[in-house]
Amino acid sequence: ISPLHDKDVNPTGELKKAHHHIILVYDGPTTYNNVKCLTDSLNQPIPQPLDQVRGYYRYLTHEDNPEKAQYDKADIVTLNGFSIQDFVEMTRSEVGKLTREIIDIIREGNITEYSDLMEILMDSGDGMASHFEVARSNTLFFKAYLTSRWRRQTGQPVKELAGKVRHEQK
């Protein structure tokens, strides 16, 4: 269920009536008529079949339409165990962005154990589901990073090398 779309504007410049967009996903195949019966019983607009759940999921916040009002992903509501991760593969840039965000979490929380990281991400709720999947799918990278942080905290000389690399890049 999308965030409340209360900032959308008609081509005439006037605000559209506030509304939500909803994606219905069934466990198995269903027919258009079954969905239409449901939307008719709720006095809702004609349902639109989706070719790709991911593209429409992004539309819930106008993520790919910067000219439209933008809505916060955190305000998307999911029910009955729905996870967008079941329907999409993240792009390399999305994985890279989430990896950097996870590294920020590690640094801010001074985390040195992989199990602590995974429990923090898992306990943070659906808003961190993608972060959890990236950390789960990149275990070797994150274990190596966390082990390196632990070694540094126990006295291994890492900063000297980092300073040298930064100096050489200038």
Question: What's 1's domain CATH number?
Answer: 3.40.1310.30
Same domain, 1 and 77: yes
The last residue of one of the domains, among 82, 114, 149, is 82
Residues of the chain with pLDDT under 50: none
Per the domain annotation, does 87 fall within a domain?
Answer: no
pLDDT at 29: 87
Same domain, 103 and 59: no
Q: How many domains does the chain fold into?
A: 2
The last residue of one of the domains, among 22, 53, 82, is 82
- The pair phi, psi for residue 60, each rounded to 5°, is -55, -25
Q: Find the domain containing 114 and state its range.
A: 92-169
The last residue of one of the domains, among 82, 113, 148, is 82
Same domain, 114 and 48: no
Instruction: Kindly report the pTM of this predicted structure.
Output: 0.54
Residues belonging to the chain: 170
Mean pLDDT score across all residues of the chain: 87
Same domain, 66 and 135: no
Per the domain annotation, does 33 fall within a domain?
Answer: yes
Per-residue CA distances from 6 to 11, 43, 75, 152 (Å): 15, 20, 13, 50
Q: Rounded to whole angstroms, how far apart are CA atoms 122 and 13?
A: 43
Helical ranges in 75-138 per DSSP H:
92-109, 114-123, 129-137
Same domain, 2 and 70: yes
Same domain, 7 and 78: yes
- pLDDT tens-digit readout, 131-155: 999 999 999 999 999 999 998 888 7
- Amino acid present at 10: N
Same domain, 66 and 8: yes
pLDDT at 146: 96
Helix 92-109, helix 114-123: angle, nearest 10:
110
Per the domain annotation, does 9 fall within a domain?
Answer: yes
CA 108 to chain centre: 20
Same domain, 99 and 155: yes
Q: Rounded to whole angstroms, how far apart are CA atoms 22 and 96?
A: 29
Same domain, 76 and 148: no
Per the domain annotation, does 134 fall within a domain?
Answer: yes
Per the domain annotation, does 26 fall within a domain?
Answer: yes
